[in-house]
Amino acid sequence: MTKFNFSAGPAILPKAVMQEAAAGAVDLNGSGLSILEISHRSAAFTAIIEEAESLVRSLLGLSDDFAVLFLSGGASTQFFMVPMNFLNESDTAAYLDTGSWSSKAIKEAKLFGKVEVVASSKADNYTHIPKEYTVPAQARYLHITSNNTIYGTQYHALPETDVPLVSDMSSDIFSRPIEVERFGLIYAGAQKNIGPAGVTLVIVRKDLVGKVNRNIPTMLQYATHIEGASLYNTPPVFPIYVTMLTLRWIRHSGGLQAMDVQNKAKAKLLYDEIDANPLFKGTTAVEDRSLMNGTFVMENPELEKAFLAACTEAGCVELKGHRSVGGFRASIYNAMPIEGVQTLVDVMRAFAQKHG
């Protein structure tokens, strides 16, 4: 039976990527060596990381004003690394609070400077993206979380501001075209759309680096990794390799425009069923629904276990909602085929016929 992995992350990867990665783990390009054992200073890995950077640049349309870094520590490390590198103690950063990840980023930023939370949807259980707010003109940056995996909300238009945008794009980067020139820094844990857990992509405008007056440990300075081309220390070699393969797959599949069309089609199929099916209801504002993580609950919670069992029987797995909100979450990242979403929709319809 074909299984469709709806996990929020680590998440589904293209089968072709996993097959090539598996082959590379045994024998990389006929070298007789595994990707797991080659030197990060070798010509073979230099070619991999340079291709990965080139693909990031071409897919996003990055100019030379931006540096592309492959780091460790996940998005959670970037929660403190961004303010550490961008804020003096007397400086102010603006944050939009739209969920668990942004609230964690806010907590870390307060260690390094002044933080103004310009808007929050916490009072409404993060079921929408705030629309009305003012960004302080003196703010060094405005931080957003572009997609909220737990609550199922997503920015469908960037905030209008004159200060640099900083965004945690862990769960929707490379899922659609973006106005990359409007950002000062983008960071993303790879384990959603671009690779396995273990590598973090950072895209940073070079002119914003090195402006604070605090002493920063060498490994936590963006300048260190820009100068070292992500090779100051041993990088996460295998995750970077799989990321490179995934970016190749995105390019060969039509690029970000094609990803956008496919992701919108998958999301429409899912949300149309949620709205039409009497047993289910969505949990977020319609205009802010995520194209990556569809969250929904049952009108009768007593049927949840039976529904999950029906999904599993049909090959649809990892649909249980985050422990903090319950219900269900269908994560439909780039690698999820529309057949997977159709299978889930078919289960929902059959379940309603039986229990409705």
**Residues labelled as active-site residues:** 101, 168, 192
Cα distance between residue 339 and residue 317, in whole Å: 14
Phi-psi label, residue 145: left if phi above 0, alpha if psi -120 to 50, beta otherwise? beta
Cα distance between residue 278 and residue 272, in whole Å: 12
Task: Kindly write down the DSSP assignment for every residue of 121-149, as one continuous string.
Answer: -GGGTT-S--------TT-S-EEEESEET
Looking up tokens 């931006």 gives: 66
Cα distance between residue 225 and residue 217, in whole Å: 12
Cα distance between residue 335 and residue 214, in whole Å: 42
Cα distance between residue 208 and residue 184, in whole Å: 7
Parallel, antiparallel or unpaired: strands 293-298 and 328-331:
antiparallel
Whether residue 347 contacts residue 271, with contact meaning beta carbons closer than 8 Å, is answered with: no
The three-state secondary structure class of 147 is strand
Cα distance between residue 329 and residue 322, in whole Å: 7
Whether residue 41 contacts residue 231, with contact meaning beta carbons closer than 8 Å, is answered with: yes
Whether residue 146 contacts residue 172, with contact meaning beta carbons closer than 8 Å, is answered with: yes
Cα distance between residue 212 and residue 89, in whole Å: 9
The three-state secondary structure class of 239 is helix
Parallel, antiparallel or unpaired: strands 114-120 and 92-97:
parallel
Cα distance between residue 356 and residue 342, in whole Å: 20
Whether residue 202 contacts residue 86, with contact meaning beta carbons closer than 8 Å, is answered with: no
Identity (one letter) of the amino acid at 260? D
Q: Would you give the DSSP letter of residue 246?
A: H
